Chains A and B, each alone.
Chain A
Amino acid sequence: MSAARSVWTLWKKEMRSYAVSPLAYVFLGAFLFLSGLFFYLGVSLTGEASLRVLLANLAVTQLFVLPMLTMRHFAEERRQGTLELLMTAPVSLSSIVVGKWLASLSLCLLMLAGTFVFPVILAYYGDPDWGVMATSYLGLVGVSCGFSAAGLFASSLTDDQVAAGLLGIVILLPFWLVHQADALVPEAWVPSVQQFGVLQHLGSFQRGVLDSADVLYFVAFTFIFLFLTFRSLESRRWR
Chain B
Amino acid sequence: MVEAIALSKSFGPTVALQDVSFSVGKGEIVGFLGPNGAGKTTTMRILTGFIPASGGEAKIAGFDVFESPMEVKRRVGYLPESPPLYPELTVGEYLEFVGELRGLSSRACRLRAGEVMERVGLRGWEARILGSLSKGYRQRVGLAQALLHDPPVLILDEPTSGLDPTQMVGIRTLIHDLAASHTVILSTHVLSEVEAICPRAVVIGRGRVLAEGTLAELKGKAKRGAWTLIEARGIDARALADTAGVDQIEPLPPADGWPAFRVMSRVDVREALIRRVGSVGGSVRAVEARLPTLEEAFIDIVGEEGVTLGRTG
Contact = CB atoms under 8 A, between A and B. Distances in A.
A90 B87 contact: no
Interface string A81-92: 111111111110
A204 interface: no
A85 B98 contact: yes
B100 interface: yes
A88 B52 CA distance: 12
Contacts of B87: 80
Contacts of A89: 73, 98, 101-102
Contacts of A232: none
Contacts of B82: 81
A8 to B, nearest CB: 8
A13 B97 CA distance: 7
Nearest to A9: B100
Contact of B48 (A1, A80, A88): A88
Given A84-B84, A85-B145, A87-B50, A239 B89 contact: no
Which of B50, B76, B83 gathers most chain A CB within 10 Å? B50
A237 B45 CA distance: 10
Interface in A74-133: 80-91
B35 interface: no
B113 to A, nearest CB: 15
B78 interface: yes
A16 to B, nearest CB: 6
B15 interface: no
A238 B84 contact: no
Contacts of B11: 239
A88 B78 contact: yes
Interface in B88-104: 88-89, 93, 97-98, 100-103
Interface in B214-229: none
B230 to A, nearest CB: 50
Contacts of A91: 101
Interface residues of B, number: 31
Contacts of A212: none
A20 interface: yes
Given A90-B70, A90-B73, A84 B50 contact: yes
Interface string A1-45: 100011001101100110011000000000000000000000000
A6 B101 contact: yes
B80 A85 contact: yes
Interface in A197-239: 237-239
A225 B141 CA distance: 35
B60 to A, nearest CB: 12
Residues of A contacting B: mostly: helix
B85 interface: yes
Contact of B101 (A9, A20, A80, A84): A9
Contacts of A86: 101
Contact of B89 (A5, A16, A81, A85): A16
A1 B84 contact: no
Given A21-B88, A90-B74, A237-B51, A16 B80 contact: no
Contacts of A12: 97, 100
A5 B83 CA distance: 25
A16 B231 CA distance: 66
A80 B87 CA distance: 9
Nearest to B76: A88
B12 interface: yes
B259 interface: no
Contacts of A88: 48-50, 73, 76, 78
B86 interface: yes
A138 to B, nearest CB: 33
Nearest to A21: B88
B79 to A, nearest CB: 10
Contacts of A13: 86, 89, 97
Contacts of A21: 88
Contacts of A16: 88-89, 93
A158 to B, nearest CB: 18
Nearest to B77: A88
Nearest to A2: B103
Residue from A84, A89, A91 having most chain B Cβ neighbours under 10 A: A89
B52 A237 contact: yes
Contacts of A20: 88-89
Interface in B23-60: 45, 48-52
Q: Please provide the 5 A-B residue pairs with the shortest distance between their CB atoms, ordered closest to farther.
A: A85-B84, A1-B103, A90-B73, A9-B100, A82-B84
Interface of B: 11-12, 45, 48-52, 70, 73-74, 76, 78, 80-89, 93, 97-98, 100-103, 145
Given A5-B100, A88-B73, A237-B50, 10 more contacts: A13-B86, A16-B89, A80-B86, A81-B80, A81-B83, A84-B45, A84-B80, A88-B48, A88-B49, A89-B102
8 contacts: A1-B103, A6-B101, A13-B86, A81-B83, A83-B84, A85-B145, A86-B101, A237-B50
